[in-house]
Structure 1
Amino acid sequence: EEPETRLRERYLLLPLRPPPAPPPPPAPPPPPAPPLLLLLPALTIHPHSS
């Protein structure tokens, strides 16, 4: 067999192979809850002034 035919067969078969699926993008981490927003309801419900 001539090497040229082998090379042609290789290049013809390469496009038939499906490309590897790209890895899914990593899910972004959930944003941390701001402590100030959590403290605001407590301050309004339980006022320090007595």
Structure 2
Amino acid sequence: MSQARTKERGNHYEFWTVTDALAIKTTSNQIQVGWLASQSDMLAEDWETLS
């Protein structure tokens, strides 16, 4: 899990906890969160972990 923050009005920030999730960068250069990896995706060796 990690913590995310968003800037609100002025210098006030709101924090929330983000749980682990799979995401994929699509061919149209968008990030799709909540993506369900196939068996061949899971066996691929081109994964990258972001933190």
Under a length normalisation based on structure 2, what TM-score does the superposition of the two structures give?
0.18
More contact order relative to length (CA 8 Å, sep ≥ 6): 2
Under a length normalisation based on structure 1, what TM-score does the superposition of the two structures give?
0.18
The structure with more radius of gyration:
1
Tell me which protein shows more helix as a share of its residues.
1
